[in-house]
Amino acid sequence: MIDKRVETVEQALDGLFDGCSIMISGFGGAGLPITLVRALEATSVRNLTLILNSIRFIEYTAPSLFTDKRVAKAICSAARSPGKEPGIYERQIQSGELELELSPQGSFAERLRAGGAGIPAFFTPTAVGTKLAEGKETREFNGQTCVMETGLTADFAILRGQTADRWGNVAFRGLQANFGPAMAMAARTTIVEVTELQEEALPPNGSHIPGIFTNRIIQLPDER
Amino acid sequence: MTPLSRNQIAWRAAQDLVEGWYVNLGMGMPVLAANYAPKDADIMFQSENGIVGVGPVAAPGEEDLDYVDAGSQKITLREGAALVDSAMAFAMIRGGHIDVTMLGGFQVASNGDLANWDAMIPNKGALVGGAMDLAAGAKSVWVVMAHLTRDGEPRLVEKCLYPVTGGRRCRQGLYRSCRHRGDAGRFPGQGNC
């Protein structure tokens, strides 16, 4: 019997290890798995690679990941804190303690999708001629110069959805989806916190992530 | 000569929107243009976090944390809207399905290069967001910006001093807070100023 439901955040995050890579969904607070991010903070894992759109929300939710220097690398499209003073991760990036790989947001999304779809790399016109394309292979297609971007995969992905069933099918509300479906495809273990874990199966065309891409589902209240 | 206000520039840019278009508005002045789009026209505003059909900003007390746009504003949806994930939203952009993106700018060069993502602020981290994808992928790129910096330096330059966002795309339209056309012919889209 397929049953991806777990009861506790410890079960949900079982198997995290030092040096692992974790994708974290969320945009503007929608789809951010706040409770699982806090549970990640409560573990002792370190030397992490975080793959996420913006560091800011994670630092706000789980500051000790940065103050205790547990993040070794971030792959993201935004690494800027609010306000004029540099935040902790900005100082760590500047000093070289935290490695930053900045990716245009659309290339970032496609890198996730490609990674999950078994495509190791692709060519895109985005960022050609900019400093984010420096050092990357370029080729011309139909007269247009394109830069090679690599697909992304990870050990874990954590996301937030609205509804799920025991088969791991997940449905979103509003703008919760953002990077979640692509991350679910790209990670070896995908963990989803949802507002409602329902007894009956979601309608076959009523989910946004099919359970084949998810591994653990946990029902958690919306902590925002 | 009195420069145009931010709202006046946004109003001016909105007058060139066409019924049936799919339009992405960048943060800052561009997003103000939505307030001045023809009310009864089907113009679909796309937001790269996954919306086709952004409606008005949510009224106070009506905000829903799951309904945000790419600038993290709490928004509503308009009739006919559709919600997708980020990979599909950027496929719309990269795939040439967006008729126009209006972007803010620090500088535009005479060859159409745009610089709008890295202001080179000391000690502050990098943030690129979707700017490069929009600059490279939309069918048309309209830059909506003031004519001069706060210090009175021109934003229309021979060559961008700031790191570029994308090359040679800003041909189709350029809105700025000037009325004169003294530099006509030198800058792309100067007829729209």
What structural domains does chain A harbor?
18-120+151-219 (3.40.1080.10)
Report the SS3 class of residue A121.
strand
Residues 2-61 of chain B with CB under 8 A from chain A are: 48-51
- Find, in chain B, the residue whose alpha carbon is nearest to that of A90: B125
Q: In tens digits, what is the pLDDT along chain A, a chain of 224 residues? A: 999 999 999 999 999 999 999 999 999 999 999 999 999 999 999 999 999 999 999 999 999 999 999 999 999 999 999 988 999 999 999 999 999 999 999 999 999 999 999 999 999 999 999 999 999 999 999 999 999 999 999 999 999 999 999 999 999 999 999 999 999 999 999 999 999 999 999 999 999 999 999 999 999 999 88
Q: Rounded distance, CA B105 to CA B157, Å? A: 12
Q: Contacts of residue B133 in chain A, CB cutoff 8 Å?
A: 104-107, 126
Determine the longest span between alpha carbons in chain A, in angstroms.
55
Share of chain B above pLDDT 70, in %: 86
**pLDDT(B185) > 70:** no
Q: Rounded distance, CA B163 to CA B165, Å? A: 7
- Find, in chain B, the residue whose alpha carbon is nearest to that of A94: B123
Nearest to B133 by CA among B165, B102, B160: B165
Q: Contacts of residue B136 in chain A, CB cutoff 8 Å?
A: 124-128
| A169 has a chain B CB within 8 A of its CB | no
- Find, in chain A, the residue whose alpha carbon is nearest to that of B115: A130
pLDDT of residue B190: 46
**pLDDT(B180) > 50:** no
Report the SS3 class of residue B160.
coil
Q: Contacts of residue B92 in chain A, CB cutoff 8 Å?
A: none
pLDDT of residue B79: 95
| Candidate list B48, B63, B79, B153, residue with the active-site label | B48
Average pLDDT over residues B49-67: 97
Instruction: Provide the pLDDT confidence category of residue B92 given band limits of 50, 70 and 90.
Output: very high
- Find, in chain B, the residue whose alpha carbon is nearest to that of A78: B127
pLDDT of residue B147: 83
Q: Rounded distance, CA A47 to CA A94, Å? A: 18
Which one of B68, B132, B165 makes the best mutation probe of the A interface by having the most chain A beta carbons within 10 Å?
B132
Instruction: Establish whether this prediction's ipTM goes over 0.95.
Output: yes
Which one of A175, A179, A222 makes the best mutation probe of the B interface by having the most chain B beta carbons within 10 Å?
A175
What structural domains does chain B harbor?
6-192 (3.40.1080.10)
Strands B44-47 and B22-25, bridge-based pairing = parallel
Q: What pTM does this model have?
A: 0.95
Instruction: Provide the pLDDT confidence category of residue B184 given band limits of 50, 70 and 90.
Output: very low
Q: Is the separation of the CB atoms in B167 and A155 below 8 Å? A: no
Q: Rounded distance, CA B8 to CA B45, Å? A: 20
Residues 97-126 of chain B with CB under 8 A from chain A are: 113, 123-126
Nearest to B30 by CA among B19, B48, A108: B48
| A126 has a chain B CB within 8 A of its CB | yes
Nearest to B75 by CA among B66, B86, B88, B84: B66
Q: Rounded distance, CA B81 to CA A201, Å? A: 27
Q: Rounded distance, CA A217 to CA A222, Å? A: 15
Task: Answer with the residue of higher pLDDT: B193 or B158.
Answer: B158
pLDDT tens digit sequence for B141-161: 999 988 888 898 999 999 999
Q: Rounded distance, CA A194 to CA A180, Å? A: 12
| A179 has a chain B CB within 8 A of its CB | yes
Residues 63-82 of chain A with CB under 8 A from chain B are: 77-81
Instruction: Provide the pLDDT confidence category of residue B1 given band limits of 50, 70 and 90.
Output: low
- Find, in chain A, the residue whose alpha carbon is nearest to that of B113: A129
Q: Contacts of residue A131 in chain B, CB cutoff 8 Å?
A: 163
Instruction: Provide the pLDDT confidence category of residue B173 given band limits of 50, 70 and 90.
Output: low
Task: Answer with the residue of higher pLDDT: B187 or B99.
Answer: B99
Inter-chain CB proximity A126 and B83 less than 8 Å: no
Of A87, A89, A176, the CB nearest to B66: A176
Nearest to A48 by CA among A25, A24, A77, A18: A18
> Could you tell me which residues are beta bridge partners of residue B114?
B108, B166
Instruction: Say which residues have a Cβ less than 8 Å from residue A11's Cβ, sequence separation at least 6.
Output: A216, A218
Instruction: Provide the pLDDT confidence category of residue B123 given band limits of 50, 70 and 90.
Output: confident
Please indicate whether residue B48 is annotated as part of the active site. yes
> Could you tell me which residues are beta bridge partners of residue A78?
A54, B127
Instruction: Tell me how far the alpha carbon of residue A185 is from its chain's centroid.
Output: 11
Inter-chain CB proximity B94 and A179 less than 8 Å: no
Instruction: Provide the pLDDT confidence category of residue B181 given band limits of 50, 70 and 90.
Output: very low
